[in-house]
A and B are shown apart, each in its own frame.
Chain A
């Protein structure tokens, strides 16, 4: 069934041929193995916007968390869904369904860590109140200039670049 005829014609052009394919995808046949090996295409950087739900890709920025592993790099234009449609799917509104965004919270001096679901809160004030209740302490007043005043503790998080950031500077969404 498999014919190798196709190769003879393009031996001298194989090097310049571009084809899409992921490194390490299932290889069904030798032909496909050859085509993947020569693949030097990367999916386009703005692919992440196209794939998956709009909600989840934005949330990845703010915390280290144990939600589902990020999608592996996707082939351009596959599956064939218009980006208009992909970008317009909203996560579920009800709390009961849909995966939460779980974040580990540790506090200096506390014996063990806690986990909270960021989706449950509608803004920073709610989140901070919940943290205060959970760890039985007060956080203090937030101001843009001075951070949190009136408390020994300040809420911080590690962002995607690995830097420790003060909670509250970036808009909630």
Chain B
């Protein structure tokens, strides 16, 4: 206490705002009225005497009561910059810690500053690593974090990890060291298996949420579902395991569902047949989010043999708002879901190979749909049907069933145009196609002013507007110009530096930009780095941007979460220059797998690299970098 006091007196020397001295403070707390002095100084007091609270302490008490209501982390970050006092109080009242890049700060530093955290979110690998552009084992290990969390926050309740490497040992640690642990969400993670899940199931008695989303789960014979406690009511609210690529013990799952009256979200993997789905649904009509598993019959079961009434099972789920799954769909069964369509706000058919006619039977009922993920097998016609009914659509994702450059393109500018005309409230779109026109993109920019996320992937590289033969510059230009709320953009097709000029000129709110096979020269990247003040995440591949362009971003890199550039025109000296100019930037140059083989075969070791990945950090170079990563300085 005494130590703390001295520290605060140092701060007081820096003069707190004038209006907080004297009278104002006296009025704010009757307890301290008689004790407040005019100066903000605190002299060392004998600890056994009555200790007058210093003015700032009153303020800090008040602040603490106020700041605890602040939930947005951006607001909290702003509050923490007001002065040291506010920084301190904000740190005491922050209960959710978000680490956007696990290497930007060490676990020790983070836990030292924030002492009362109950929920932690950490993101690791760069997004382009998802597409095999980088060898695995790059890093982003959860282990050092889990150890620090264990000593700092024994009361920890929630962990959210994205693109981190998590081991079974880490999961075991979580299960054994946090008695209040309630929620585990792993998105795009790897490194663990069913063994780790088993420990979580067995030992986390307060578990409410276990969500595994697009993560790679190593198979083992471990029956992890069977490890949930066998008796008594559970507090499980959400169980999502659709990405687990191994069979589960269905009987144990059924028993678990029966014992989980609070269960609202259940997403099954493809090893659950439609017959088993039925059994679960009749036990859990209170579900709001359902992932249907395979949505087809189990092996060896024939169609028509006394099948249960799937329609009534769906009809009984009156609270269902989100439907997904359909992993191995037998389209005949789609009619079972008609009864719930009218209430659906989210429908994910992106693993269901269905055609336009089959989609129409469903989508025609979905008036309230806000989120729609689908495969392009539904063709432009299917999109037109969606546009006609889903007037409230906010998010659309159209994935390709055949993800190659030269495949048939079942969706095109026709579908995009239809969506833009029918779904005026659209906020977010991800659209894969083979051909596109500027006209359709411009139309969307005019029809959908609320767009915040526009990601268009024309799968043929360098493909121009297929009607006019021109580059796609004008289309993307219109998007940045007309969509004033745009924060995320992904570009594709034939693009010249002009497109980037538009982005730099109009994309003032853009935070995330993805570029592939685009641009003519350094100018393209310069326009973006000089023009987009909010840019935080920039990922570029196979574009002709070189060292001069890289230099043009020196003023901005400390404000960014990361920059990724692969297969561009960068050189080792160029990157080293950046590393020297910005000491708080970690500049990683990475060889990919082909590059590593070349390096092994060649007699002299050159410093060629394939990927530049750089990010600000308070810690300097990380100590867990693998051999294919070189950190420049």
Binding site for B on A (CB under 8 A): 1-3, 5-6, 9-10, 13, 16-21, 25-26, 28-29, 31-32, 35, 41-42, 44, 50-53, 71-72, 74-86, 88-94, 97
Contacts and interface: CB of A to CB of B under 8 A. Distances in A.
12 contacts: A41-B594, A50-B132, A77-B133, A78-B131, A79-B459, A82-B130, A88-B351, A89-B375, A90-B353, A93-B328, A93-B329, A93-B331
A5 B133 contact: no
A122 to B, nearest CB: 10
A20 B130 CA distance: 17
A16 B608 contact: yes
Contact of A76 (B133, B329, B459): B133
A71 B403 CA distance: 11
Contacts of B521: 2-3, 5-6
A93 B330 contact: yes
A81 B400 contact: yes
Interface in B471-508: 494, 496-498
B595 interface: yes
B405 interface: yes
B404 A5 contact: no
Among A9, A78, A91, find the residue whose CB has the most chain B CB atoms closer than 10 A: A78
Secondary structure type dominating chain B contacts? loop
B416 interface: no
Given A13-B608, A81-B399, A89-B375, 6 more contacts: A29-B520, A44-B132, A74-B405, A75-B405, A89-B401, A91-B353
Interface centre among A21, A77, A81 (most CB of B within 10 A): A77
A9 B130 contact: no
B310 to A, nearest CB: 16
Given A81-B400, A82-B130, A93-B296, A31 B520 contact: yes
B585 interface: no
Nearest to A45: B593
Contact of B404 (A17, A71, A80, A92): A71
B216 A84 contact: yes
Contacts of B137: none
B462 A79 contact: no
- The 6 tightest CB contacts between A and B, nearest first, are A77-B131, A16-B608, A3-B521, A79-B459, A81-B403, A77-B133
B547 interface: yes
Contacts of B400: 79, 81
Contacts of B133: 76-77
Contacts of B405: 74-75, 78-79
Given A52-B402, A78-B131, A19 B243 contact: no
A103 to B, nearest CB: 22
Contacts, number: 143
Contacts of B198: none
Interface in B226-279: 243, 270
Interface string B398-424: 011111111000000000000000000
B404 A74 contact: yes
Nearest to A88: B351
Interface string B295-338: 01000000000000000000000000000000111110000000
A19 to B, nearest CB: 5
Interface of B: 128, 130-133, 188, 214, 216, 243, 270, 296, 327-331, 350-351, 353, 355, 375, 399-406, 432, 457, 459, 461-462, 494, 496-498, 514, 516, 520-523, 541-542, 544-548, 567, 569, 571-572, 574, 592-595, 598, 606, 608, 610
Contacts of A81: 131, 399-400, 403, 432
Contacts of A42: 594
B520 A1 contact: yes
Contacts of B327: 88, 90
B608 A20 contact: no
A79 B514 CA distance: 13
A9 B375 CA distance: 45
A79 B432 contact: yes
A62 to B, nearest CB: 21
Contacts of B571: 9-10, 13, 17
Contacts of A6: 521-522, 544-546, 548, 569
Contact of A9 (B355, B459, B497, B547): B547
Nearest to A81: B403
A122 B571 CA distance: 56
B300 to A, nearest CB: 10
Contacts of A16: 606, 608
Contacts of B406: 71-72
Residue in B214, B403, B461, B545 with the greatest tally of chain A CB atoms within 10 Å: B403
Nearest to A44: B593
Contacts of A91: 353
B402 A53 contact: yes
Contacts of A78: 131, 405, 459, 461, 516
B553 to A, nearest CB: 16
B590 to A, nearest CB: 12
Contacts of A86: 403
A77 B128 contact: yes
B567 A18 contact: yes
Contacts of B594: 18, 41-42, 44
Contacts of A76: 131-133, 592
B402 A80 contact: no
A172 B399 CA distance: 30
Nearest to B328: A90
B216 A20 contact: no
Nearest to B351: A88
A20 B594 CA distance: 10
Contacts of A41: 594
A79 B520 CA distance: 21
B132 A5 contact: no
Nearest to A87: B245
B575 to A, nearest CB: 12
Contacts of B496: 1
Contacts of B128: 77, 80
B462 A80 contact: no
| Residue from A44, A51, A90 having most chain B Cβ neighbours under 10 A | A90
B578 to A, nearest CB: 14
A145 B399 CA distance: 48
Nearest to B573: A13
